[in-house]
Structure 1
């Protein structure tokens, strides 16, 4: 695994009850990360921590609800047969 070390340091600051830091533009670009999207921290066995872009979770219930609303009349007509 290759990595690039820089001399630039990023301070951890307090924000409410959380600690926050800056994500450098180079990291955002590498992760294809846009403002407002989520990241995940992966804890490696060697003690390091990897930052990855979090994939959107599929909301199955919302999809089912949408389909039910869209086809409600057709489903009701089938049940009534």
Structure 2
């Protein structure tokens, strides 16, 4: 999943970069992408829990507690 997201993000950046440079200029384009990076960093700090020193089973149990499983009928 992570590899797919990385490829998708690279595709979007390479597809839009020249169009954005022509529209707003080089410096503003880099500032725009830097702002996206800062937004992503804030999201990771807020939404992704710390897993250092925890076993995989503990992490899985905490995710299962946070979102109860739905059963198919």
- Which one has the bigger helix percentage? 2
Global fold match (TM > 0.5): no
Structure with higher Rg: it is 1
Higher relative contact order (CA 8 A, sep 6+): 1
- Which one has the bigger strand percentage? 1
TM-score (norm 2): 0.21
TM-score (norm 1): 0.20
